[in-house]
Chains A and B, each alone.
Chain A
Amino acid sequence: MTGVGPDDTGCSVAIEREVVIPNKEGLHFRPIMKFVDTAQRFHAGVTVHCDERQADGRSPMEMLMLVATQGSTVRVVADGVDATELVTALVELVESGFGET
C-alpha cells in the first residue's frame, strides 16, 4: 500500500454522517475513550461537530468540550484514505450506545 494521507491520493473526499447520541449520560468519560480509541485505529483525520462546536475526534479533551448530551445530533466528518470505514465504525459505535450500561 502506498500513500496514507489524503494529500498523496490527491482525490480524497470528505465523508460525513450525522448520528444521534443515544445513551443517557451523553458523551462523558467512557464513551469518549471508546470513540478516541476507535478513531486512532484509522489513518483519516476526523472532526466531530455538535451545534456550533467542533472537536478533533482523537482529542478526549476537545470531545468532552462538545457537551454532546443524550439526544443531541453530532456530525462526524472524516478526510483521508479510510475515511468511509472510519465514519462507519464511529457511527456504529455511537449508535450502539457505546455499549453503556
Chain B
Amino acid sequence: MITKKGINASPGVAIGPVLVLDTEEYRIPHRTIEASQLAGQIRNLDAALEASRQEVGELRAAAARKLGDKTAVIFEFHEQFIADPKLRESVAELINERHWTAAYAFGQVMNGRQRMFRNVADPYLKERVRDLFDIERRVLRHILGRAREDMTRLTEPVIIVANDITPSQAISFDKNHILAFAMNVGGQTSHMAIIARMLGIPAVVALNDITSDVTGGETAIVDGTHGIVVANPDAETVERYQEQQERYRRYSAELQTLRDAPAVTLDGTEVDLLANIEVPEEASAAMQAGADGIGLYRTELLFLSSPRTPTEEQQYEAFCGVARGARGRPVIIRTIDLGADKLAPSMGTHREHNPVLGLRSLRYCLLHLDLFKTHLRAILRASTEGDVRIMFPMISTVMELRQARATLADVMEDLDEEGIPFRRDVPVGMMVETPAAAMLSAAFAKEVAFLSIGTNDLTQYTLAVDRANERVAHLYASHSPAVLKLIRQVVRAAQRSDVEVSLCGEMAGAPLYCQVLIGLGLRLLSMAPGDIVAVKRVLRSTTVAKCERIARTVLRFDSDRQVLNYLRDQHRETVKEDEA
C-alpha cells in the first residue's frame, strides 16, 4: 500500500482500477531530404496543419456543448495558434533552407517555443507549455500519418493515472468511464483541474511520480477532497473510504429531499432563504433550488461583460428577466457596484493607489450621474414586473444615501413626465458593508425600507484585511467578535425602527454560521443558490433558543479562534454528524 499526498484539484472519492496513460512521445529521427522532396514536405506540413485545425475546431464545439464557452476558449486559442502564419513560416523556412523533414522541422520549432515558455516567470504562461505539447502532438500525428487516438473508447470505469493530460485529452474522455484523475504535475488552476471540476470527477494533481508507483490494473483510491491517492490499498483502507463515499452520497441525497421542505426551526420560527445571483437566467434556477426570493442581484456583470456600457433597454430586459424569473417573490436589485477589483471597460484605465478605498461603487455612480440615472430608469421601469426593490451599495455617510435617493427621485420625475409606468412605492434599501454604516445603522434605519449586511466587505474593512492577498488572508475571519458585534448592532437598529434586515455575504451560505446568525436576530439570509439546502438542513435541526444561547456565548469571546472552535462544536452537535 502506498499513500501519496498531492494537491486537491476536484472533490469527491473514487475507488477503482488504474489505467496508466503513457506519455505518447514521438521520436522524430533527424532527417534531411533531397531538394526534389521539399515541395512534398511543405504540402505535408500544410495538410497536417489544416487537419489539426479542423480537429481542434471539432473539439472546441464539443467543449462548448459539454462545458460551456469558458473551456471552449482554450481550444479556440489552439486553433488560432495552429493557424498562426509565423508558425507555418518558420517551419517552412527550416524545410527549405536546411532540407529538414516537415516532422523534424516542426518538432524543432515547437521545442524552441516550449523552452521560451518554461523560462517565463509568469505562472499563467508557464502553465501554457502544456498547451504547446498538446498542439505539437496533434500536428505531428498528422504529419506522421498516425491515426487519431483519443481516449473515447474506454469500456470500463477507471482511474486515469498520467504524468499530465492535455486539455484535449480531458475533454475527449467519456465521463461515464472515468472515476478519477491522478496526475504527476499540475495545479488547482491548470486546465485539467478546471475541466475535472466541471465534469464533477475527483482529481488529485502534483503527485510528482505517481506514474512510477502504479503499473495499471491494480486498485487505487483517489480522495480529491483531501488530495490523497492510495495505491494498492489494504482491505481496511478500502472499507474506510467506502464508508466515506457512502456518507457523502447519503449527505447529498438528503440535501436534495430538503429542497421543497420549509425553512423553519424546530420551534417553528420561519427564516427566509434568498438567493444571490449574477445573471438573469439564474433567477428561475434559484427558485427551483428552493429560494424564497432574490436577496441580491449583482448588476455588475452586465457592465463587465460588454465593452460598451449596456443601454437602458438592455438593462431593462435583464431586470425584467430577473423579476419574472422570481415569480412574484422579492427581487433586490443592487445598483452597480463597480470599481476596486471590478473594472468595466467603459470606466477607463485610471489606476488608483488603493482601489478598495477609492472611487468605487455608489461613489462612482454619484460622480457619473448619466450612467447612474440610466441604470435607475431601467430598474424603475422593470419594477412593474414583480416585487422589485432597490438597494444602494457601499454607503458610509448619510449624505451619500440622501444623494442617491435624490437622484432616484429625479429619475421618477422624468418617468412621470414621459408617462412611463413604474412602481412609485418601490422599496429602497442599502447595504451595510462599511464599519461606518454599521455604527450609524440606527440613523440609516430611519431613512430606508431595509438594510442588508454585506459581510464580505464589512469583514475586509473592519479587520483591514484583503483576503485575496495570501500573505494576510489567514487574518480574514467573518466570525471575528468585532464583526459579530457590528452585525448585532445593525440587527438591533433595524428591529427598533421596524425595517427588514438581511445578510447577504458569503457568511450566509456557510452552514457553520447559520445558528449564530439566527441567534443574532437575523431572519433573512441571502446566499448562493447551491448553499440553500445545506443551510436549511441546519435550520430545521435547531431552535431559536439554542441559537440565541450560541450568539450570547460567542459575543463574550475575544478571539476569533475561540469563536470558531465553539461554533464548530455547536454545529456538529446540531447536525449530529461529521461531514467534513
Where the two chains meet, the residues of A that have a C-beta atom closer than 8 Å to any C-beta of B are 20, 22-25, 28-30, 32-33, 36, 56, 58-62, 64-65, 67, 69, 71, 95-101
- Of all A-B residue pairs in the complex, the 4 with the closest CB atoms, nearest first, are A99-B307, A59-B86, A97-B345, A22-B349
Chain B interface helix/strand/loop/mixed: helix
**B74 engages A96 (CB within 8 Å):** no
Contact B304 A101 (CB under 8 A): yes
B121 (CB) vs chain A CBs: closest residue? A67
**B74, B80, B120, B343: the one within 8 Å of A67 (CB):** B120
* Residues of chain B with a CB closer than 8 A to A24's CB: 341, 343
- Report A-chain residues with C-beta under 8 Å of the C-beta of B73: 29-30, 33
In the complex, the number of residue pairs spanning A and B with C-beta atoms less than 8 Å apart equals 73
Q: Is the CB of A65 within 8 A of B116?
A: yes
Bound Cα distance from A54 to B74, whole angstroms: 24
Which of B87, B113, B307, B344 has the largest number of chain A CB atoms within 10 A? Answer: B307
Contacting pair B85 A58 (CB below 8 A): yes
Some 18 contacts from A to B, beta carbons below 8 A apart, are A20-B349, A22-B349, A28-B124, A29-B77, A33-B73, A36-B80, A59-B85, A59-B86, A60-B80, A61-B84, A61-B86, A62-B86, A67-B120, A69-B122, A95-B349, A96-B308, A97-B343, A101-B305
Contact B345 A33 (CB under 8 A): no
Chain A residues whose CB sits within 8 angstroms of the CB of B351 once the complex forms: 71
Chain A min CB distance to B184 (Å): 24
Q: Are A101's CB and B343's CB within 8 A?
A: no
Q: Is there an interface contact between A101 and B301, defined as CB atoms closer than 8 Å?
A: yes
**B305-330 CB contacts (< 8 Å) to partner A:** 305-308
Compute how far the CA of A48 lies from the CA of B204 in the bound complex, rounded to whole angstroms.
Answer: 39
CB distance from A58 to the nearest CB of B (A): 6
A24-B343, A58-B85, A97-B349 are known contacts; what are 8 more A-B pairs with Cβ within 8 Å? A28-B124, A29-B77, A30-B73, A33-B77, A59-B87, A60-B80, A62-B86, A99-B307
Contact B87 A61 (CB under 8 A): yes
Asked if residues B84 and A60 are in contact (CB atoms below 8 Å), the reply is yes
| Chain B residues numbered 266-310 whose CB sits less than 8 Å from any CB in chain A | 301, 304-308
In the complex, A25 Cα to B349 Cα: how many Å? 14
Which residues of chain B come closer than 8 Å to A58, judged between CB atoms?
A: 84-86
Q: Are A67 and B125 in contact (CB under 8 A)?
A: yes
CB distance from A47 to the nearest CB of B (A): 12
- Shortest Cβ distance from B430 into chain A, in angstroms? 26
The complex places the Cα of A96 from the Cα of B348 at a distance, in Å, of 7
Closest B residue to A65 by beta carbon equals: B116
- Contact indicator B345/A25 (Cβ below 8 Å): no
Q: Which residues of A contact B488 (CB under 8 A)?
A: none
Distance of A4 from chain B, by nearest CB (Å): 17
B197 within 8 A of A: no
Task: Tell whether B128 is near chain A: CB-to-CB under 8 Å.
Answer: yes
Interface membership of chain B positions 128-142, coded 1 if the CB is closer than 8 angstroms to chain A and 0 otherwise: 100000000000000
Expressed in whole angstroms, the minimum distance between the Cβ of B299 and any Cβ of chain A is 13
A99 B86 Cβ-Cβ under 8 A: no
CB of A61 within 8 A of CB of B113, answer: yes
Verify if B81 is at the interface (C-beta below 8 Å from A): yes
Please state if B122 and A67 are interface contacts (CB–CB under 8 Å).
yes
Give the contacting residue for A99; candidates B74, B76, B80, B306; CB below 8 A.
B306
> Which residues of chain B from 333 to 383 have any CB-CB distance to chain A below 8 Å in the complex?
341, 343-346, 348-349, 351
* B125 proximity list for chain A (CB < 8 A): 64, 67
CB neighbours of A30 from chain B (8 A) = 73, 77
Q: B85 contacts which chain A residues (CB < 8 A)?
A: 58-59
> Which residues from B are CB-within-8-Å of A22?
343, 345, 349
Q: How far is the CA of A93 from the CA of B285 in the complex (A)?
A: 35
Interface pair B81/A61, CB less than 8 Å apart: yes
Task: Say how far A16's CB is from chain B's closest CB, in angstroms.
Answer: 19
Residue among B77, B304, B348, B351 having the largest count of chain A Cβ atoms under 10 Å: B77
In the complex, which of the residues B86, B113, B116, B307 contacts A96, with contact meaning CB atoms closer than 8 Å?
B307
Question: Please, which residues of chain B bring their CB within 8 A of the CB of A65?
Answer: 116-117, 120
- Within the complex, what minimum Cβ distance (angstroms) separates A60 from chain B? 5
* Complex: chain A residue closest to B122, CB-CB: A67
Q: Which of A64, A65, A71 has the most CB of B within 10 A?
A: A64
**B345 with A99: CB separation less than 8 A:** yes
* In the bound complex, CA of A33 to CA of B310 (Å): 23
| Complex Cα spacing A62 to B304, Å | 28
> Roughly how many angstroms separate A57 CA and B485 CA in the complex, as a whole number?
56
Least Cβ distance of B72 to chain A in Å? Answer: 11
Chain A residues, Cβ within 8 Å of B120:
65, 67
A25 to B345, CA, bound (A): 14
Closest chain B residue to A27 by CB distance?
Answer: B125
Q: Which residues of A contact B349 (CB under 8 A)?
A: 20, 22, 95, 97
Complex: A20 Cα to B77 Cα, angstroms: 23
